[in-house]
Structure 1
Amino acid sequence: MVKKIFLILFLLNASFIYAQTIKTDILVIGGSASGTAAAIQGARSKLKTLLVEPGPWLGGSMTVGGMCVVEGNCNLPSGIWGEFRKHVQNFYKSRLGYDTAYNATLRFEPYTGAAILKKIADTVKNLTVKLNTPWTTIRKDGTGWQVSIITDNRATTVKAKVVIDATETGDVAAKAGEVFVSGFDSAQDTGEDLAPQAPLPRIQDITWIAILKDFGKTADKTIAKPQGYDADAYACLKGKDIAKMLNEGRLPNDKYMVKWAGCGNQYPTTVEDLKPANRDAFYAKARLHTLGLIYYLQTGLGFKNLGLDDEYPTADHLPYMPYIREAGRARGLVRMTLNEVYKPYDREARLYRTAIAVGDASPGQHYGEGTAPKTNYPPFMAYSIPLGAVVLKDLDNLLVTEKAMSVSHLVNASSMYPSVQMTIGQGAGATAAFCAFFKTTTKKLNVRIIQGELLDFKAWLLPFADIKQSDPYFRAMQQVGATGLLKGIPQIKGNSAQMLFMPDSAVNTAEVEPFFKEIYSRAFLWFNKEKPAGKFTQGNLLSFISEITLTEPKTLQVSMQKAWKAQYKFSSDFDLNRPVTRREFAVLANKFLNPFARAVDITGRMVN
């Protein structure tokens, strides 16, 4: 009898222990823009994925933080970011005056954005989302990780093959032992011409955004005077065109996103302020500063009709968290600097070949007056994010996104942008899926397999703004672009610079010859024999394909002439003497030569 009782107790205890342990392939900690995208991609790649978020919403800065007027990546609707963008536009398209143009600034109410992300996540198989679920500890568990989370007021252990730290401030990586750098890097350290000569421990300010609603001209929504209110702190707003400033943050349903620099709601920040031990006290001060701005707007500037509604069910109706632009940065397998933005093709490392995400957000410089050097960025180029920037150098199978990525301070000013982070999160999700599926670690990544998975799910590797996802040869041009066989062409537009593919322009021999000679030993003989002119012709391309694939030249020409318009749908006539266009070249080179199949290492160097 006693033995039976012990057996029953043992089995009950074992069952209880089992119930407290969750095994998953991928664990994403943080429901930020990147974390949400990472979890969706990991699950769509058919790996069991768990996303835990301490708060009640998904979306991070875009929703939880109120950063809901999104300008970055409007020309680059990559993958899950493009999917989210389309859902938002469809939700609001019937609203009078809502701009649904292809590259329009995206505007949405924070709650609506969070609800759309949750709805997308809920439709994904293999994905479990746990909101209002904090985590407490992380430690190594073989090649994977063991993380403690709090569910239903009790501790639960999660064992994961791969963990993605998608918190806004890199809290998970920090607790796992990663050492961060912060502030301005020196020019000597990064090789960036625009960096200061000496490092400077200054990070960008936070902003506690306010979402205000117009309740009508006769309404009085004046809030109680905030603790410590000082009208002089906002006096620089006198004489400014407040109506114009409000309109810049206009949202649907008579709402406005208030994110004002200068003496608005921007708030000075240090890395110490953002550490977990100091965060709550610091956040309380920043909230009061924003409430002071609202009170000044209502009482000092006469906008008492504008008030906080119940968009956020917090005590003061401000967002759950501030808009954080910068924190500590981790050490990745590679570090992305401005040189990868402005000179991606002129570097010893070919990091663009390892691209997993794209960005074009203009870099912000949000510092108090005179507290940091002004960086005179040239028109900012659209860019690719290299795989190694999200992979920690010293901690296997732990990936980082958001402000913890391995980028320079000057790059973070753009890469931290929520829409850019959503594309980065998708890249991190595919990377985690690779490790989990192949039962390997982040020391043995296969760049091309990861990139192929991303392309399968409509993500962009190269920021070619003139090639839309609907183009039937989008993938071919992305893959050829990722090899460097055909390089992007910059086009300056105001303060930014697009990267174009220019599919209808002619291919220059000088551009493709070095690449061909790099990977095909027979290319030297071919170029010496054929001596192609400045413009590479259709005949040159077919001749080269014949040389490399050992196809009989005449047979190839005949079959290509038949397929030119019938199969490939090229708009030009088949003419061996005519210069081949970049589109034609990309399609045929991708099909017959398949340069994308050539493996590259984490720095983009070709390997056998």
Structure 2
Amino acid sequence: MIKKLLLFFLLLKFSGSYAETIKIDVLIIGGGASGVAAAIQSARSKVSTMLIETGPWLGGSMTAGGMCVLDANRNFPSGIYGEFRQHVKDYYKLRLGYDTTYNAILAFEPGTGANILKKITDTVKNLTVKLNTAFTDVKKNGTGWEVTILQNKETVTIKAKVLIDATELGDIVSKAGVLMTAGFDNRADTKEAPAPENATNQIEDISYIAILKDYGRNTDRTITKPEGYNPAVYNCIKGTDVKRLLNAAKLPNDKYMINWGGCASQYSVTSDDLKPETRAETFRKARLHTLGLIYYLQTALGYKNLGLTDDFKTADHLPYMPFIRENRRAAGVVRMVLDDVYTPYERGSQLYRTSIAVGDAVPGQHYSEAGVPKINYPPYPAYTIPLGAIVVKDQENLLVTEKAMSVTHLVNGGITYPSVQMTLGQGAGATAAYCAFFETTTKNLKPRIIQNEILDFKGYLMPFADIKQTDPAWRAIQQVGATGLLKGIQKVQGNKAQVLFVPDSVVYTAEIKPFLEEIYSRAFIWFNKEKPGEVFTVNNIISFISELNLRDPENLRDALQKTWKTYYKFPSDFKADRPVTRREFAVLANRFFNPFARAVDISGKMVN
């Protein structure tokens, strides 16, 4: 009997130790905007995936942080972000006055956003989500990674082929010893014209956002005076139009998101203040600062009817986490700079060809500290985010999103916007799944394969605001645009610039000739023989296709004429002697000689 009991306890011990190690293809740490999108995409790409989040909600800044009014990427309902947008619109569409137009600003209650994300992840196969779970250690394990977590107060080891750091503050890459920088880069280093001459360690302020509700004119919702309250701190909002500020960030159910600039919600920090050992105290002070703003609003400005809601189950009803705009940035395989935004086609590296996401957020300048350099950004175009910016340098199979991406300080302010990060997360998930599925590493990435996976799941590669996903030419235009054969055109609107494809405009020979001659050996012969005019015609592209495919031009012309509107869905009539439009050229090029099939490396250079 004793021997049987000993054997039983030995087996129990063995099975317990075995259960403490989990093997997974892709592990994402951080359930924010990028992390949840990365997890969904990775799992949908048919690899086993686990997502770990320290808090009780998915969504990070845009839910647990209260940043729930999103105006960036309104023209790009890309993949998983587009799916999330649609779920939010469907939830609120019957509410009186809720704007459900195509590119309306997205506004939602934080808890609603978190619930929607949870419901989406619950339906995804191959995906395990662990909330309220902290990691304690991370180390390299061959080409993969080994991460220790605390689950139900017990230590569990997770072995993953690929690891994504989607934490708000880059905690994984920091723990892994990756080289990191913080603050303003100097002009000599980045070659960015607006950058200051000297580097500084100042980063953008954090903000504890508040969700308020109007409880009625005769109601008093005044909170207890916060510790250390000083009304003089908030004098910058005295005399401002509070009602205008409230209505600018109005949420459903008579709620308001309070994320006001300057002395109001912002709290000045350095990267040292956000280190693990100082973070809790920094956040405590930042919370008190926002509570002081609410108390000032209720007492000094007379808005005692405005009170904090119970959206967050915290003692003070502020969000579970602050809205963090910036921290330390990891060294990546490539670094995205301002010129990749303003002049992507004129760079030595053609990083737009490796795009895994798009964005149109304008970099903010949120500093309450005096003396911080003021950057005069020219109108900011919509942009692509290159694959190499999420790939950590000198560390295999480690990807990074959120604030630790490999970008400059001047780019960071736009790239970390929640809706941009959600779009980016899908690209990170596809990249991780590629490595796991093909049993390779981040040293052997093939951008075109990853991009095709993103397109298969309705993700954008190019920020063409005038081509919707419902357009039958959308994918062809995305693919041709990602080659640079036909380039986007910037159109300035205030402090931003849209990037347009202009599908009904004509194709100029001078634009397409250099590219075609670079990648097709027969193109040089064709251009010398045919000598097309300034404007490329329908006849020209038929002739060029015939040259490359060795197909009889008359038969090709007849076939195209018969299928011009039925198969290709072109709105214009077939006329061989007229100029070919950019839409027609993109669709026919993609169909017959497919420039997107030409491989590129991680810098965007064509690979033979």
For normalisation by structure 1, the TM-score amounts to 0.99
- Aligned match of 1:509: 509
Question: How many residue pairs are counted as aligned between the two chains?
Answer: 608
- Aligned match of 2:447: 447
- Aligned match of 1:332: 332
Deviations 1:409-453 (A, max 9, x none): 000010010000001100000000000000100000010000000
- Aligned match of 1:243: 243
Q: Secondary structure at the match of 2:345?
A: coil
CA–CA separation in structure 2 for the residues paired with 1:238 and 1:2:
80
CA–CA separation in structure 1 for the residues paired with 2:573 and 2:485:
24
Matches of residues 77-116 of structure 1 in structure 2 within 5 Å? 77-116=77-116
CA–CA separation in structure 2 for the residues paired with 1:467 and 1:122:
32
Residue 10 of structure 1 and its aligned partner are, at CA, apart by 3.9
Residue 369 of structure 1 and its aligned partner are, at CA, apart by 5.0
CA–CA separation in structure 2 for the residues paired with 1:145 and 1:2:
42
CA–CA separation in structure 1 for the residues paired with 2:368 and 2:258:
18
- Aligned match of 2:210: 210
Opposite residue 560 of structure 2, the aligned amino acid is M
- Aligned match of 1:294: 294
Q: Secondary structure at the match of 2:149?
A: strand
CA–CA separation in structure 2 for the residues paired with 1:221 and 1:282:
27
- Aligned match of 1:66: 66
Matches of residues 539-558 of structure 1 in structure 2 within 5 Å? 539-558=539-558
CA–CA separation in structure 2 for the residues paired with 1:587 and 1:402:
35
Opposite residue 130 of structure 1, the aligned amino acid is K
Opposite residue 168 of structure 1, the aligned amino acid is E
The 10-residue stretch of structure 1 (559-568 or 487-496) with the greater mean CA deviation from structure 2: 559-568
- Aligned match of 1:499: 499
Opposite residue 585 of structure 1, the aligned amino acid is F
Opposite residue 376 of structure 1, the aligned amino acid is N
Task: Judge conservation of contact 2:472–2:569 (CA < 8 Å) in 1.
Answer: no
The answer to whether 1:188 aligns with 2:198 is: no
- Aligned match of 1:458: 458
CA–CA separation in structure 1 for the residues paired with 2:472 and 2:8:
63
- Aligned match of 2:484: 484
CA–CA separation in structure 1 for the residues paired with 2:432 and 2:577:
47
Matches of residues 558-569 of structure 1 in structure 2 within 5 Å? 558-569=558-569
- Aligned match of 2:121: 121
The 10-residue stretch of structure 1 (566-575 or 249-258) with the greater mean CA deviation from structure 2: 566-575
Opposite residue 499 of structure 2, the aligned amino acid is M
1:490–1:9 distance in 2 versus 1, CA, 3 Å: same
Residue 566 of structure 1 and its aligned partner are, at CA, apart by 2.4
Task: Judge conservation of contact 2:268–2:369 (CA < 8 Å) in 1.
Answer: no
- Aligned match of 2:153: 153
Q: Secondary structure at the match of 1:103?
A: coil
Deviations 1:8-50 (A, max 9, x none): 4443222111211111111000001000000000001011110
Matches of residues 371-450 of structure 1 in structure 2 within 5 Å? 371-450=371-450
- Aligned match of 1:229: 229
CA–CA separation in structure 2 for the residues paired with 1:4 and 1:434:
48
Q: Secondary structure at the match of 1:37?
A: helix
Q: Secondary structure at the match of 1:565?
A: coil
CA–CA separation in structure 2 for the residues paired with 1:336 and 1:566:
42
CA–CA separation in structure 1 for the residues paired with 2:84 and 2:227:
39
- Aligned match of 2:267: 267
Residue 370 of structure 1 and its aligned partner are, at CA, apart by 2.8
CA–CA separation in structure 2 for the residues paired with 1:387 and 1:199:
26
CA–CA separation in structure 1 for the residues paired with 2:236 and 2:393:
46
Q: Secondary structure at the match of 1:345?
A: helix
CA–CA separation in structure 2 for the residues paired with 1:6 and 1:386:
58
CA–CA separation in structure 1 for the residues paired with 2:518 and 2:429:
32
CA–CA separation in structure 1 for the residues paired with 2:233 and 2:292:
9
CA–CA separation in structure 1 for the residues paired with 2:69 and 2:565:
43
CA–CA separation in structure 1 for the residues paired with 2:135 and 2:503:
48
Residue 366 of structure 1 and its aligned partner are, at CA, apart by 0.4
Q: Secondary structure at the match of 2:257?
A: strand
Residue 236 of structure 1 and its aligned partner are, at CA, apart by 2.1
Deviations 1:148-169 (A, max 9, x none): 1111110111111101000000
Opposite residue 49 of structure 2, the aligned amino acid is T
- Aligned match of 1:316: 316
CA–CA separation in structure 1 for the residues paired with 2:562 and 2:236:
70
Opposite residue 531 of structure 1, the aligned amino acid is K
Opposite residue 458 of structure 2, the aligned amino acid is K
CA–CA separation in structure 1 for the residues paired with 2:308 and 2:4:
63
- Aligned match of 2:29: 29
Opposite residue 344 of structure 1, the aligned amino acid is P
The 10-residue stretch of structure 1 (553-562 or 61-70) with the greater mean CA deviation from structure 2: 553-562
Opposite residue 490 of structure 2, the aligned amino acid is P
Opposite residue 190 of structure 2, the aligned amino acid is T
Q: Secondary structure at the match of 1:137?
A: strand
Opposite residue 573 of structure 2, the aligned amino acid is D
- Aligned match of 2:38: 38
- Aligned match of 1:258: 258
Residue 569 of structure 1 and its aligned partner are, at CA, apart by 1.9
CA–CA separation in structure 1 for the residues paired with 2:519 and 2:7:
67
CA–CA separation in structure 1 for the residues paired with 2:14 and 2:454:
41
Deviations 1:207-256 (A, max 9, x none): 11111111111110000000100011112222111111111111111111
Q: Secondary structure at the match of 1:301?
A: coil
The answer to whether 1:588 aligns with 2:588 is: yes
Coordinate RMSD, CA, aligned? 1.1
- Aligned match of 2:306: 306
Opposite residue 374 of structure 2, the aligned amino acid is K
Residue 557 of structure 1 and its aligned partner are, at CA, apart by 1.3
CA–CA separation in structure 1 for the residues paired with 2:563 and 2:7:
74
CA–CA separation in structure 2 for the residues paired with 1:470 and 1:322:
37
Residue 563 of structure 1 and its aligned partner are, at CA, apart by 1.4
- Aligned match of 1:599: 599
For normalisation by structure 2, the TM-score amounts to 0.99
Deviations 1:44-82 (A, max 9, x none): 101111001000000000011100111111111111111
Opposite residue 267 of structure 2, the aligned amino acid is Y
- Aligned match of 2:138: 138
CA–CA separation in structure 2 for the residues paired with 1:566 and 1:368:
59
1:547–1:3 distance in 2 versus 1, CA, 3 Å: farther
The answer to whether 1:48 aligns with 2:48 is: yes
CA–CA separation in structure 2 for the residues paired with 1:492 and 1:122:
42
1:2–1:223 distance in 2 versus 1, CA, 3 Å: closer
CA–CA separation in structure 1 for the residues paired with 2:436 and 2:584:
37
CA–CA separation in structure 1 for the residues paired with 2:156 and 2:6:
25
Deviations 1:272-292 (A, max 9, x none): 011110000111100001000
Q: Secondary structure at the match of 1:349?
A: coil
- Aligned match of 1:526: 526
CA–CA separation in structure 1 for the residues paired with 2:258 and 2:170:
26
CA–CA separation in structure 2 for the residues paired with 1:106 and 1:44:
25
CA–CA separation in structure 2 for the residues paired with 1:594 and 1:236:
57
CA–CA separation in structure 2 for the residues paired with 1:435 and 1:276:
31
Residue 2 of structure 1 and its aligned partner are, at CA, apart by 7.8
CA–CA separation in structure 2 for the residues paired with 1:236 and 1:349:
45
- Aligned match of 1:346: 346
Q: Secondary structure at the match of 1:188?
A: helix
CA–CA separation in structure 2 for the residues paired with 1:228 and 1:293:
12
Residue 371 of structure 1 and its aligned partner are, at CA, apart by 2.9
The answer to whether 1:467 aligns with 2:441 is: no
Opposite residue 413 of structure 1, the aligned amino acid is G
Structure 2: any 5+ residue segments left out of the alignment? none
CA–CA separation in structure 2 for the residues paired with 1:311 and 1:155:
32
